[in-house]
Structure 1
């Protein structure tokens, strides 16, 4: 079948149309009779289903679109050498050329039967196809050919990887990852390494509490059993990402991954079950995993506007064709800088379970805390991805696994004996829990520890939390694993130490001896020249980090221009000084290739 070449923020993507799968938006319980199999319940706002493979897919889709209860139908695609379905959501990110006639642009949209959903201050126009529009991929390609349009990028969604791995060895009923005494009650023949834990119980003692109920951890995942004894009553501001509603789906089709992830971060201390790292924290559950830039913006914006303090993400990808682009990065950066009243949400991503020398692309985004996994013997978990960008590791399976909550509809591990569906050693611990592991488990553990740090000191910025975690981590492995700066591709800066991290957070708050934030060199560029603005940030540390990063990457002068707005300071970050606007534009592609979204700014009057 022929392929279609699609422009994305990461370059061009060759897609081939599926011969059997389509995406449908269905109202009601009954599926159209043409549906042979339900493949994926949620992808880009559609249900991915299989139609009769013997029929021409175009004619089959046209027919099912006429069915009662089907509001929208779309083709499903596959990228070269990849078996994950790709769904166009029907949205297009369009940027007209500079100084384009806006009336002419709107006439073009009308002729193509497109609806303007958003007209953003940065010049981006978010478009939506209608029933009268052509295929959104073809519409975007047609727009891209027009001289008046600079970019037209269709919004695509693909399933991302949930970083869970089944336990590899036995289990015990005690939570050794919080405090490891070197043995497991009732299992005398499996020794652990004493002290191979995250020091969470010691952090509780230092705080003299289990953390603050004023701290909210957002967990972005699928499959939350909010009636589970360890999670009941903890949910605030839930969001179904695709539908933009507060009611979350339940049952097998909804998935099971979010329940154990949430429990590791904040399972309640209620006398039964398990206890999370930050038992008093509140849970903000966001159901839905998405590559779509539009839905990615929605999820992180919801976290910011609804008051999340920490955002835990046990998912991602190591496939280069689906690495996050500029729009994804902007959404994450917005949370890192705008959240918590400008102090920034703490964003934690899993490094991934592929066992590669490459960590999850989402975990590589600037400012994100990237988490790998260590074992009950303080060794590197073999499945845990390695490489530059890893921040810390945290205890998970690979030796003894972690005990976590399980959704009431969780079917357990397939293809094992019935007694080992939930517990690897076959010993029943009741209907509410199961073995859990992977970097999916290590990530919410670190998210919970970040919540304890904010309980100790609510004024910490996102950059300060990350710096403290790095500085207080325990070096495990061998000295040869680490370079002269104390960094390891296998362990990051080491295994997370909650007690030391909380102690440092208290020191920042208590005596004023904390290191000053990195200085910002405020430089007012020469008036009458031109520059490329890449960002406008209020977070002091983020401005300093970005400035240093830009200077290193491009060897161009970087200017910081402060602007007072609504009683606070925002810093414009500007790259280069050019005599003309044309010379400035000559450098745009260079910055875009590195993931930035620059625009030309005349420097007269800046500051």
Structure 2
């Protein structure tokens, strides 16, 4: 309970106004209290320092109400900042993408998404993570899976398609899964160039809204068609932890495991101390697993360890850096992790709770990875690479999740979470080929552009554990992203483990399991450890921990600076491996090891003096037609020539990443080999033989990536060679076309802008509907969002039903979002009202509907409590005022003993509030006269109060206590307010009848004999000039009325 505020304490705000309506109540033993009541208008004019205190009996209730009022906005802010729970079992979820300027700034993108949600009969949920213009809606599965009624009639009667196309659509409509939301949206898109269909949709939707009492749409179907880029139903997918190592087949046996040995060196005293023992003494490490953490200090082969002790000796231990473990949860109760757990950056996207606790028996992976990074120095298990850093947990791997949730996870807390460690991806089975959806790609782009205050989130991905089954990290769209640092594994002897995947996207390697040992780290449990952690899952967290040391030394580094440091400081090893090749830049590169092994000391030292790179530039080629060359053992080749003028036009200076998009048809994808040959002869193996990949889909627009050419001169002829070295009789394929993108450092930083997906170009509405126009699509997979290539116009509208549009396809191909628009979609269009100010905020709050309902519920409860309290207070005052009657001049006379008794400070209410000097009792009330005697009013100072006696007034003799009661009953009611105004203006006269007004009580004037006699004995006989029988009868009638009033007053007092 909040203590009463002293008389001199200042209180502010609306709550302070309510508090200040009641004075502090003195000790109950004195049998009196002081209560001051006045209007809120008069309160506003009073200095805060002179406001009275709080009554003890009201303080508990007020304290609770004030606390609830203060917590309400805090609760609302927290609720709005957290993702809403999902109900995938009962609801279908959809992501709406709006165009940033689709309506000429006439509507906010959120209001457009809400309008479409209402029209589609779905519920608006929230924005998708930190992504602008992406919104999540949901609909009950029982309704969504029925199909859209108008779609049935339109697909049978459409005149926009040829008979053959109409037949194909009807067939797919019958065989594919129905979805009323997707079908409804597809018709809305087609209405952009079909006015008749638009009219049908508007009429049908209007009828549906009336039937279901839905709000009216402020936008037409055609307007929505041009304002919405896409709508995709969310399909749950399971990401694979990279703790599973696929067993090698007889064609590729695992190397023999060798027993672990220990080396030692003598000290000055002749005693033998190992390197780990020496480091333990230096850094006060008492963890029992420390001698076994060979990746930190290798007592056997000293050149094979991450070399972190030298960095620790500089005082760099990961302070003020947070690594988010995107995995299956973190055991934040572990003694090794609880001190370094960062709760604010954590969230559980599987169970939709704030704490990502391991809840399943196999939820071990994330805790083990977290221990590698930030296990503290104590007497439990071992220590982390950055043992003073923080780890957050983002749980996504314990169940299937949607693309929307995954995109949110990769941006969760991206201002406080600096590095995202991701030891997962598509299955490493040697036959899968999967890339992140456009939504997830946008999240990663958003992270590197806006994370860490614009310096960019650092994404670290494990290369994969499918090496034993010929899997390669270039068939994984996460590891071959230019926004990721892909880390592969080596063992404690510097050998390539059989499980570690090979590809041209590998940037560096660090240590993991192999050669008879694993990574020793923390396990789930309060005091549990493990010696069975391994795979590339263990290598990626070590790399993330090293980057944490780098960011402590140089927190101003951008995400590209981190990649540059990884490339330039990596140490090549095992140089007898035949895959090492010196590139034109002078660096050695190996598809198994990247540019080499990470060395913590080397990279931190380099970071201290590193000059920040200039912003990213890019150049993309047009699609190059390969003329359907047959894919043979000798290869089908195509060339793209890059000129200096091309690079100058793109403000491009130096090369970092190269992306290659291909369209290759082949009856057996695993046979295909793809090579990129630079003008200087460096060869990147983009794809190699995969014996278990029998897919006949080929490479429909698949994007490869290579870092091997980092730093090369990009000018010259770049050749892509597509080969089939197996060459079986049953396999055949053709090389259709390809495109290339180059990414690097810009020349002029002042000219360079952030990369923006070409799909994000403005979409403006045409001035009038256009029908029968050609629609643009793009070759499947060759997304202009990646390469910026100009699409080839096709003369057919998009199909009404497709797996891709509904989100049921595993291998994703992207269609240009403007494909459904007419050719004149760049015209101007204005309509609607701008949603700004409170309207836009209200629209946003509606997006968090469930939390807002809870918040408003709390507000209603708080408001109800306040209203109830003031109602009871008012009723109490009314009962007290019932004991008084007011004469025509405004004077009050007590009819009996009131419920409250107290003294009033001389000089009127205003002087009392302002702190007039009189009386004791904390300066607010009078002390009772000694002995608490009831003295006649004659014994007190008299004031010039003028009044008339009237029938109905009290006939009792007033005492000092009665006077206290009379002035104590001044309230904030209308009568009380009027009395206050009269006290402030004692000489004001009535303008209506010129009757004398009651002046405020004043002790100074003792000469008012009329007031003295009136107060002392109102019933005393006074000599009258003459009286008539009529006067006598009037007096008797008055006395009778007075007696009745007195009886009523006494009865009310007893009640």
Q: Same fold (TM over 0.5)?
A: yes
- The question of 1:358 aligning with 2:437 is answered no
Is the contact between residue 356 and residue 395 of structure 2 (CA under 8 Å) also seen in structure 1? yes
- Helix, strand or coil at the partner of 1:233: helix
Is the contact between residue 120 and residue 181 of structure 2 (CA under 8 Å) also seen in structure 1? no
Could you tell me which residue of structure 2 aligns to residue 437 of structure 1?
534
1:240 to 337, 344, 348: 348
1:117 to 116, 121, 125: 125
Judged with a 3 Å threshold, the aligned counterparts in structure 2 of structure 1 residues 434 and 229 are, in CA distance, closer, same or farther, namely farther
Could you tell me which residue of structure 1 aligns to residue 524 of structure 2?
407
Offset, 1:465: 0.7
Query: Could you say which structure has the higher strand fraction?
Result: 1
Offset, 1:194: 3.5
Judged with a 3 Å threshold, the aligned counterparts in structure 2 of structure 1 residues 555 and 446 are, in CA distance, closer, same or farther, namely closer
Could you tell me which residue of structure 1 aligns to residue 436 of structure 2?
324
Could you tell me which residue of structure 2 aligns to residue 536 of structure 1?
none
Q: Whole-Å Cα distance in 2 between the matches of residues 331 and 258 of structure 1?
A: 22
Q: Whole-Å Cα distance in 2 between the matches of residues 481 and 358 of structure 1?
A: 15
Is the contact between residue 328 and residue 358 of structure 2 (CA under 8 Å) also seen in structure 1? no
- Helix, strand or coil at the partner of 1:303: coil
- Helix, strand or coil at the partner of 2:532: strand
2:370 to 259, 262, 265: 262
- The question of 1:342 aligning with 2:342 is answered no
Offset, 1:520: 5.3
Offset, 1:588: 5.6
- The question of 1:311 aligning with 2:420 is answered yes
Could you tell me which residue of structure 2 aligns to residue 161 of structure 1?
240
Matches within 5 A, 1:84-233: 90-93=93-96, 109-110=117-118, 112-118=120-126, 124-130=134-140, 133-135=143-145, 138-139=179-180, 141-143=182-184, 145-146=186-187, 147-148=190-191, 151-165=230-244, 173-182=291-300, 193-205=301-313, 208-233=314-339
Is the contact between residue 556 and residue 575 of structure 1 (CA under 8 Å) also seen in structure 2? no
Offset, 1:396: 0.4
5+ residue gaps, structure 1: 1-43, 47-70, 75-87, 183-192, 410-429, 509-513, 523-540
Is the contact between residue 461 and residue 484 of structure 2 (CA under 8 Å) also seen in structure 1? yes
Is the contact between residue 449 and residue 754 of structure 2 (CA under 8 Å) also seen in structure 1? no
Q: Whole-Å Cα distance in 1 between the matches of residues 573 and 559 of structure 2?
A: 25
- Helix, strand or coil at the partner of 2:593: coil
- TM score, norm. by length of structure 1: 0.65
Q: Whole-Å Cα distance in 2 between the matches of residues 372 and 547 of structure 1?
A: 18
Is the contact between residue 423 and residue 461 of structure 2 (CA under 8 Å) also seen in structure 1? yes
1:466 to 545, 559, 563: 563
Q: Whole-Å Cα distance in 2 between the matches of residues 385 and 408 of structure 1?
A: 32
Could you tell me which residue of structure 2 aligns to residue 591 of structure 1?
783
Q: Whole-Å Cα distance in 2 between the matches of residues 435 and 547 of structure 1?
A: 35
- TM score, norm. by length of structure 2: 0.39
Q: Whole-Å Cα distance in 2 between the matches of residues 239 and 326 of structure 1?
A: 23
1:379 to 495, 499, 503: 495
Q: Whole-Å Cα distance in 2 between the matches of residues 197 and 108 of structure 1?
A: 57
Query: Could you say which structure has the higher helix fraction?
Result: 2
Q: Whole-Å Cα distance in 2 between the matches of residues 499 and 303 of structure 1?
A: 29
Could you tell me which residue of structure 1 aligns to residue 582 of structure 2?
484
Judged with a 3 Å threshold, the aligned counterparts in structure 2 of structure 1 residues 118 and 260 are, in CA distance, closer, same or farther, namely closer
Could you tell me which residue of structure 2 aligns to residue 299 of structure 1?
409
- The question of 1:284 aligning with 2:392 is answered yes
Judged with a 3 Å threshold, the aligned counterparts in structure 2 of structure 1 residues 556 and 321 are, in CA distance, closer, same or farther, namely closer
Judged with a 3 Å threshold, the aligned counterparts in structure 2 of structure 1 residues 194 and 152 are, in CA distance, closer, same or farther, namely same
Judged with a 3 Å threshold, the aligned counterparts in structure 2 of structure 1 residues 408 and 381 are, in CA distance, closer, same or farther, namely same
- Helix, strand or coil at the partner of 1:445: helix
Judged with a 3 Å threshold, the aligned counterparts in structure 2 of structure 1 residues 516 and 286 are, in CA distance, closer, same or farther, namely closer
Judged with a 3 Å threshold, the aligned counterparts in structure 2 of structure 1 residues 544 and 144 are, in CA distance, closer, same or farther, namely farther
Matches within 5 A, 1:56-67: none
Could you tell me which residue of structure 2 aligns to residue 394 of structure 1?
510
Offset, 1:145: 3.6
Judged with a 3 Å threshold, the aligned counterparts in structure 2 of structure 1 residues 337 and 572 are, in CA distance, closer, same or farther, namely closer
Judged with a 3 Å threshold, the aligned counterparts in structure 2 of structure 1 residues 341 and 603 are, in CA distance, closer, same or farther, namely farther
Is the contact between residue 112 and residue 133 of structure 1 (CA under 8 Å) also seen in structure 2? no
Q: Whole-Å Cα distance in 1 between the matches of residues 774 and 562 of structure 2?
A: 36
Is the contact between residue 396 and residue 406 of structure 2 (CA under 8 Å) also seen in structure 1? no
Offset, 1:261: 0.4
Q: Whole-Å Cα distance in 1 between the matches of residues 434 and 404 of structure 2?
A: 15
Judged with a 3 Å threshold, the aligned counterparts in structure 2 of structure 1 residues 152 and 380 are, in CA distance, closer, same or farther, namely same
Judged with a 3 Å threshold, the aligned counterparts in structure 2 of structure 1 residues 352 and 139 are, in CA distance, closer, same or farther, namely farther
Is the contact between residue 372 and residue 394 of structure 1 (CA under 8 Å) also seen in structure 2? yes
CA deviations over 1:109-134 (Å, ceiling 9, x no partner): 54642123357997655331136632
Is the contact between residue 243 and residue 534 of structure 2 (CA under 8 Å) also seen in structure 1? yes
Q: Whole-Å Cα distance in 2 between the matches of residues 471 and 585 of structure 1?
A: 47
CA deviations over 1:512-567 (Å, ceiling 9, x no partner): xx375367599xxxxxxxxxxxxxxxxxx999879986999468999x9x999xxx
Judged with a 3 Å threshold, the aligned counterparts in structure 2 of structure 1 residues 160 and 89 are, in CA distance, closer, same or farther, namely farther
Q: Whole-Å Cα distance in 2 between the matches of residues 137 and 122 of structure 1?
A: 29
CA deviations over 1:19-74 (Å, ceiling 9, x no partner): xxxxxxxxxxxxxxxxxxxxxxxxx978xxxxxxxxxxxxxxxxxxxxxxxx7635
CA deviations over 1:396-448 (Å, ceiling 9, x no partner): 00122110111129xxxxxxxxxxxxxxxxxxxx8433321111100100000
Judged with a 3 Å threshold, the aligned counterparts in structure 2 of structure 1 residues 593 and 478 are, in CA distance, closer, same or farther, namely same
Offset, 1:488: 1.5
- Helix, strand or coil at the partner of 1:339: helix
- Helix, strand or coil at the partner of 2:410: helix
CA deviations over 1:218-260 (Å, ceiling 9, x no partner): 1111142112121122111221124543223344357111111
Offset, 1:497: 1.2
Q: Whole-Å Cα distance in 1 between the matches of residues 178 and 575 of structure 2?
A: 51
Q: Whole-Å Cα distance in 1 between the matches of residues 317 and 115 of structure 2?
A: 56
Could you tell me which residue of structure 1 aligns to residue 972 of structure 2?
none
Could you tell me which residue of structure 1 aligns to residue 701 of structure 2?
none
- Helix, strand or coil at the partner of 1:220: strand
Could you tell me which residue of structure 2 aligns to residue 503 of structure 1?
605
Judged with a 3 Å threshold, the aligned counterparts in structure 2 of structure 1 residues 251 and 363 are, in CA distance, closer, same or farther, namely same
Judged with a 3 Å threshold, the aligned counterparts in structure 2 of structure 1 residues 313 and 500 are, in CA distance, closer, same or farther, namely same
Is the contact between residue 220 and residue 258 of structure 1 (CA under 8 Å) also seen in structure 2? yes
5+ residue gaps, structure 2: 1-83, 146-176, 192-224, 248-253, 262-290, 620-650, 661-713, 719-738, 767-772, 789-813, 819-824, 829-1055
Offset, 1:317: 1.1
Q: Whole-Å Cα distance in 2 between the matches of residues 363 and 473 of structure 1?
A: 18
Q: Whole-Å Cα distance in 2 between the matches of residues 476 and 145 of structure 1?
A: 56
Q: Whole-Å Cα distance in 1 between the matches of residues 326 and 482 of structure 2?
A: 19
